[in-house]
A and B are shown apart, each in its own frame.
Chain A
Amino acid sequence: MSHVTTHEHDVIIIGGGGAGLRAAIAIAEENPDFSVACVSKVYPMRSHTVTAEGGAAAVIKDHDSLEDHIYDTISGADWLADQDAVEYFVNRAPREMIQLEHWGCPWSRKPDGTVAVRPFGGMKIERTWFAADKTGFHMLHSLFQTTLKYGNIVRYDEHFATKLLLDDEGRCRGCAAIELRTGTVRAVLGKSVIICTGGAGKAFPFTTNGAIKTGDGMAMAYQAGVALKDMEFIQYHPTGLPGTGILITEASRGEGGILVNKDGHRYLQDYDLGQPLDVNDPRHPQKRAMELGPRDKLSQCFIKEKNAGRTIRTRDGHVVHLDLRHLGEKKIDKRIPFVRELARSYAGIDPVHQPIPVRPVVHYVMGGIDVDSNSATNIPGLYAAGECACVSINGANRLGSNSLTELLVFGGQAGTHAARFAMDHPDYDVSALLAQAGDERDRIRRTYFSSPHKSGSERIAVIRKELHESMEDGAGIYRDADSLESTCTKIAELRERYANVALDDHTNSFNTELTAALELSSLLDVAQSMAHSAMQRTESRGSHQRLDHPERNDDDFLAHSLAYHQEDGSAPRIEYRPVTITKWPPGARTYGADSGLKRE
């Protein structure tokens, strides 16, 4: 880690998942003379997009309508989504999905060769495109392989970005990144920057998220002065495998799977989610009802069922059963083969013959880097897209299968706007940026390779574990002022103790203990914004359920929270910005048989 090297391009993308790769292609395609850098802490095909299973929503069939997709998304979001952004998203989605089809994504097909769609939670009509149940895997690999066509996309694989570099006018012009192989700090410079680093599920102990989902990009933007928006909204997916948290896709319910409690009862009918139809009824599964209700409500029903003593106790905590047996082996193998593979490998059961034990699991962060519908932040030249960003189309609860589409729509959008910014603002002073990168290298050396870190007493894994326990206990599916207060206090304590983290490894090449320490730092920042934003929102909406404030309060909280980082690391300043309402005034959020009727 001796010297800083300089690498200049036109646009810098941090993150090589679905959003980052889509942005890279947009720029490379629209600006063949541009050089696009993609800086990623892993090889792009390792990015977490790869694990998404069920599908990606876009209106394509004749019996569907853009208006319905918009309404489903807005009501699913409990009216916290910005409606202009949702309209743009839904209108743009079909074109993006067809484009990805042209780039080779192996979508499942109908006999006539058109793409097949399946029902998904909270959606009134089946509109979820899918590639069996490995949709994210196929989307990511199709995007990655397509980027290989472009000579002007330059990859910085296994480069861990740690800091955004801003010029004298306050414009973002690149990042400092550690090349993992050598430990060299590189100043990767460009005329504009897009952050596409994904979510932060690893702030919690029980999550579907991979090891890499540590909120690095969110923390970088936060530190640079961009607000983190709506961070109190954390999505629990209702069906994770106990123990590992491995996701069992919502597509399993879209294909007809049912949820039952310890008595074999389809308990969702007891919570205003409609009445069940027999699994052999041709109208099963009903859209926007029962097992195809939205994720926030289904996860909340699990807790209520558990509190009523009707869940099943296992070594890995309480579960309910996801029963797919009536689908039969043929359908399971054709439509959701990965579910069978995962259940067999990691739960030791075959869903053809046995129900799958499941429980809610942290899956997605609705909040993120505050951007507008052009994917722009308040820092000129800095953009963000994908799970790390909050536009917001997801509001208080994201609908399943909207996030993969979001990667495409807003990844492309960010690419286009970042390229325009680069064209309009081409000149910057390299030396000033290089000096900042040098300072960042010195900070890393000082912080992690010299005392007290070198002789400190705290272990990364211990602080991380305590953070996990505190987030689960205090900021889970149901929260109240007391639980959040103790989580906020705990995070403050852990931030202090973090200063005494000791590394075993003080070498340069492939120092993954250093990256684990940097990731923990990001998680502490992001978790702090989550807990404090949750503390201040004294209402219940979507995934944010306050036991002490059980009602939605549109008078005071039809607004996005904006958490601003404080220089001394103390509690963030929280501000609010009204939600943009265009045509759909806040209404009752209803699911069940009449859910499609209560529209106006």
Chain B
Amino acid sequence: MPDNETITLELFRYHPETDSEPRFQSYDVPYDEDWVVLDAINWIKDYVDGSVTHRWSCRMGVCGSCGMMVNGEPKLTCAAFLKNYYPFPIKVEPLVNFPVERDLVVDMEGFMDKLQDVKPYIIRDDVNDTSGGEYRQSPAELAQYKQYSMCINCMLCYSACPVVGHEDEFLGPAALALGHRYNKDSRDQGQSERLEVMLSSEAMWGCTFVGECSVVCPKHVDPAGAIQQAKAMGAQEYFKRFVMPKGAGV
């Protein structure tokens, strides 16, 4: 490949202190088939325009920082190779369904609150007593929730989800999958109180198993599957309340 090949990135720009409207700015970047979109953005920031603003860290698809819309699709930019777009321009925007802070950075406070809402931790009385050694958990029991524990909180699924787009209080795919992860963990005893939160919003039932969340998930967590299972568990829980006093079940 000749040294002078370039590829064009069209970056979404918005600065809250100076811009009333977002705009796009084009940059020509040296084309390298080993580069990912994130490398190209970093090159722009380093050598052309230091004001371009984005989040990143690990560059290996596990820290979850660098999710953006790449040609309209939610992607980890550290896993989106330029060669898959070349020679055409690449349009990069902040993740949709989130307020924009600046340029490619979105406000994720609401997402963080939703993670906390589903009580994503082991609930049982002896959780801090280590004297009896590890809790036993068979490989089969581990397999019950392992997939749902793989979420890196990259939020791509919130950008893909049609319900998140119009229902602010919807806990959303990642948070519900995380709640489900603890509900399915054999060490946990908090399913009842967790389901109460997960099923409390009408919006949960608005999830129509479109499954876009699972399609875009870079870690194959399958939040859509988790939500359907949680609904089924919720229905059982609901039934139990009629036949047992509250809190006696599970």
Contacts and interface: CB of A to CB of B under 8 A. Distances in A.
Contacts of B120: 145, 148
A483 interface: no
Interface in B5-36: 15-18, 34
Given A101-B135, A113-B136, A503 B64 contact: no
A505 B46 contact: no
B62 A137 contact: yes
B137 A113 contact: yes
Q: Which of A111, A157, A505 has the most CB of B within 10 A?
A: A505
A48 B58 contact: yes
Contact of B65 (A46, A101, A102): A46
B121 A103 contact: yes
Interface in B113-154: 115-116, 119-122, 126-130, 133-139, 141-142, 145-146, 149-150, 152-153
A104 B187 contact: yes
B61 A345 contact: yes
B231 interface: no
A113 B55 CA distance: 40
A450 interface: no
Interface string A85-123: 000000000010011011110111111111100000000
Contacts of A503: 50
Given A148-B121, A211-B57, A509 B101 contact: yes
A462 to B, nearest CB: 9
Interface in A50-86: 50-51, 60
B193 interface: no
B93 interface: no
Contact of B146 (A102, A106, A141, A244): A106
Interface in A448-504: 459-461, 503-504
B57 A513 contact: no
A16 B61 CA distance: 19
Contacts of B47: 459, 461
A47 B49 CA distance: 26
Contact of A102 (B16, B64, B122): B122
A181 interface: yes
Contacts of A246: 59-60
A2 to B, nearest CB: 12
A505 B105 CA distance: 16
B136 A103 contact: no
B180 interface: no
Nearest to B34: A243
A512 interface: yes
Interface string B164-193: 000000000000001000100101100000
B102 interface: yes
A576 interface: no
A128 B2 CA distance: 48
Contacts of B141: 113
A138 interface: yes
B56 interface: yes
B58 A50 contact: yes
A48 B135 contact: no
Contacts of B51: 504-505, 507, 513
Chain A interface size band reads 35 or more
A210 B57 contact: yes
A156 to B, nearest CB: 12
A508 interface: yes
B135 A345 contact: no
A423 interface: no
Contacts of B197: none
Contact of B135 (A50, A102, A110, A247): A102
Chain B interface size band reads 35 or more
B62 A50 contact: yes
B45 interface: yes
A385 B205 CA distance: 45
A110 B122 CA distance: 21
Interface string A322-361: 0000000000000000100110011000000000000000
Contacts of B63: 45-48, 50-51, 210
B232 interface: no
B108 interface: yes
B210 interface: no
Contacts of B128: 29, 99, 102
B112 interface: yes
A459 to B, nearest CB: 7
Interface in A17-38: 29
Contacts of A212: 57
B157 to A, nearest CB: 15
B50 A45 contact: no
Contact of B105 (A138, A149, A459, A510): A510
A112 B130 contact: no
A491 B218 CA distance: 41
A574 interface: no
B228 interface: no
B91 interface: no
A513 B51 CA distance: 7
B203 interface: no
A504 B49 contact: yes
Nearest to B145: A106
B138 A111 contact: yes
Contact of B134 (A114, A338, A346): A114
A289 to B, nearest CB: 30
B130 A95 contact: yes
B54 interface: yes
Contacts of A146: 121-122
A112 to B, nearest CB: 7
B199 interface: no
B130 A98 contact: yes
Nearest to B178: A145
A154 interface: no
A460 B105 CA distance: 21
B51 to A, nearest CB: 4
Contacts of B182: 104
Contacts of A512: 45, 53-54
Contacts of A103: 121-122, 127
Contacts of B58: 46, 48, 50-51, 210-211
A107 B60 CA distance: 22
B199 to A, nearest CB: 19
Contact of B50 (A29, A134, A504): A504
B207 interface: no
B67 to A, nearest CB: 11
A212 to B, nearest CB: 5
B80 to A, nearest CB: 11
B112 A43 contact: yes
A559 to B, nearest CB: 35
Given A148-B121, A512-B53, 13 more contacts: A42-B65, A45-B63, A48-B58, A51-B63, A102-B126, A108-B142, A112-B136, A138-B149, A146-B121, A210-B57, A211-B59, A507-B18, A510-B102
3 cross-chain pairs, A with B, having the tightest CB-CB distances, nearest first? A113-B136, A461-B46, A504-B50
5 contacts: A50-B62, A50-B64, A114-B136, A145-B120, A246-B59
